[in-house]
Amino acid sequence: VGKKKKKFLYVNFLCRKEPPIPSSPLKLVSGASYLPHPSKLKTGGEDAFFICHEEQAIGVADGVGGWADVGIDAGEYSRGLMRNSVQAIREALPDDIDLLSVLEKAHSRTNFSGSSTACIISLKNQDVHAINLGDSGFIIVRNGETVFESPVQQHGFNFPYQLERSKMGDLPSSAQVFKIPVEAGDVIVAGSDGLFDNLYSREIAAIIVGEAAKGEEGLSPEATAEKIAWFARERALDTKSETPFSVAAQQAGFTYYGGKLDDLTVIVSFVSSS
């Protein structure tokens, strides 16, 4: 719990904590939960995220764990990428945040060794703008149904697109860019593959419905994010259930059952009227 709280406060320090000034018909009310892999508690894991309340933007990055085999902490790269994304968002005009430009600037300014996926989302007027590279991603839930799910980008099974300091990695220009109309009452859930490898979008939607049924008690994005993260971690420890990861592994020719234990980031954003 201490790690999660420290990480969340650290990220919010990068982004102004004041609530947004109502300047558009809709706004994002966001909260997050982060659970590092149990074996990575000391280093804080390799995921990173941010929530910028005033700028109406969120982001998540997943440092590629394979770098640990050569003594490199990919968490440094993902955290640097998110810090630089926040800086690029702040440099943009409030009504002119180009997410491809944000990711390009963040990529060029991140000089740590390692590599990372990236997903950045912003709200402008009635539309969600998003850019996604790799196997982090997001869904949009409306009235208990998933109305949008970002596709996974990977070169092969368990080999996602990833940004890297060297020329060996993928480029921001390879990312997928989205513009999606949203409505008050919609819920955006963004996360690393620690979430989407273990829960189907319909299961995430069901958790949101269950939280909303609690009334005022369930209307906290952070509490909803924590509940989703708890379910995803439980599934990650399950060695028998069907999961998105186990299905993908079997389709790739592997004998695999159950979830996948990993760093786990969940950001929940309620779309509400100003």
Residues 141-158 pLDDT 10s: 999 999 999 999 999 999
Tokens coding 153: 């980008």
pLDDT of 70: 83
Interval 155-164: pLDDT, tens: 999 999 999 9
- In the chain, the percentage of residues whose pLDDT exceeds 90 is 80
CB contact set of 1 (below 8 Å; sequence gap of 6+)? none
Q: Which residue has the higher pLDDT, 19 or 67?
A: 67
CA nearest neighbour of 50 among 86, 26, 5: 86
Q: Which residue has the higher pLDDT, 74 or 140?
A: 140
Residue pair 183/216 in contact by the 8 Å Cβ criterion: no
Give the SS3 label for residue 60.
strand
DSSP secondary structure letter of residue 55: T
Could you report how far apart the first and last alpha carbons of the chain are, in Å?
33
Average pLDDT, the chain: 91
All domains of the chain, ordered by start, with CATH? Answer: 2-193+263-273 (3.60.40.10)
CA nearest neighbour of 182 among 211, 140, 153: 140
Residue pair 121/129 in contact by the 8 Å Cβ criterion: yes
CA distance 173 to 48: 21
Q: Read off the pTM.
A: 0.91
Indicate whether 15 pLDDT > 70.
no
Interval 17-51: pLDDT, tens: 555 444 458 999 999 999 999 999 999 999 999 99
pLDDT of 11: 47
CA distance 42 to 104: 31
CB contact set of 147 (below 8 Å; sequence gap of 6+)? 140, 141, 186
CB contact set of 262 (below 8 Å; sequence gap of 6+)? 37, 65, 192, 193, 194, 197, 236
- Block residue for tokens 């990428």: 81
